[in-house]
Amino acid sequence: MGGFEDSEGGGCCSGFLDYETPKSVVVKSRGLGVAYRIGQTLILAYFIGYVFVYQKAYQATDTVSEVSIITKVKGVAAVGSVGTEARRVWDVAECVSPAQGSSSFAIITNVHVTPEQTPGNCPEDGDNKFAKCTNDTSCLPRHNDHLYSGEKTGRCVPFDKNVSTCEVNAWCPVEVEGKNTGKRLLRSAENFTILIKNNIRFPKFNVSKGNLPENMDKNFLKSCHHHPKHNNLCPIFSLRDILRSAGQDFKSIGINGGVLGVLIDWRCDLDFNTSLCEPLYSFRRLDTVSKENPVGSGYNFRFAKHYVFPNGTEHRTLIKAYGVRIDILVSGQAGRFDLIPTIINLVAALTSVGVASIICDWVLLNIMRQRSVYRQSKFEEVTSSQQCKASMEFSPSPSQAVARVNGIPSSYPSSDDSIL
């Protein structure tokens, strides 16, 4: 009996080391075979064409994280008739704000001027519906006092012969936005030029790039003008060209102002020479433009120029400026061949080819006419009774076991007998 137990134990151990392989069924179906090969071809074409060629999944990537932007605006705008004293010239010092050359700045295109303001008491603007009053009681402090030009004195005074408003302690006369007096459109501002210097760095690859030509002549920036096809490396743009590229015109945006985005995108394939890595420029209007709700569009801000009279009295000129604010936005990505992402995506491609088999198996077992026959051929069920029968056929009889214990040679069935 001891020998019988050893053979069973050895069987368990040897089963652990057996190699198992799935059962394969060859189906002679031309239609299903064609669909299977087409599915494999489409999957391979997707990985080869889109994943590896287009997306370059064999590369390790890095995004732009270190950016430097320097801007400089040049130009002169004038308003008024030529040869008259009313003609006024506006240069860059007055038309550009802020003047430090940052990545966000505004070019003034339209101004509303309120001159000769002095500190004192005066009526609020008659177009301010919150400031209209009939008596002093209407001018008591309210929650909407931030809509006034100054602090209310508590008095109701005439603004003109038709309207009375609350008196305020402010710079007088207050700004009157409802009137067109003092409003000036700087038409020449569309001729302003903008120089954009952009430097980036990809820290993962320790690669730095700039939007200026590497072998730039010292006179290059004095004469070049950006063109997306013929002169992409020239970083000088005119406001007119930026507006045109963004689908805008100066007359429509110059009156109430707006916000434009200059988008600089870097796409660098570091497997090739870095000199081939050039920026791509695009332009877009960023503020909301809607005919149904025009409140969200436009851009304006106020600033004042202060003066002092000889008698010591201070006065100022208040300017409400409308303009085109330009925001420079930089993005980019660089890639270089790396073995790890190549192996990962290659394994994913080879694994995904098996999806065609899964789809064809589902069609074979659930849709085709002879699906029951295919199911019987593909799946084989072994019951417990069959397992017992198989174990009895390959197990020694009691007499053979006793004979083996007593030293008598046992007579096991030969391999030919077991097959029969």
* Residue ranges at the known binding site for ATP: 72-74, 193, 300-302, 320
* Bind-site residues: 72-74, 193, 300-302, 320
Q: Per the omega criterion (within 30 degrees of 0), is the bond before 409 cis?
A: no
CA distance 133 to 243: 44
333 contact partners, CB below 8 Å, separation of at least 6: 61, 62, 63, 64, 266, 267, 268
DSSP 132: B
CA distance 171 to 164: 19
Q: Per the omega criterion (within 30 degrees of 0), is the bond before 228 cis?
A: no
Question: Closest Cα to residue 61, out of 299, 273, 341?
Answer: 341
CA distance 131 to 152: 10
Per-residue HEC secondary structure of 150-219 comes to CEEEEEEEECCCCCEEEEEEEEECCCCCCCCCCEEECHHHHHCEEEEEEEEEECCCCEEEECCCCCCCCC
Q: Are strands 183-185 and 164-172 parallel, antiparallel or unpaired?
A: unpaired
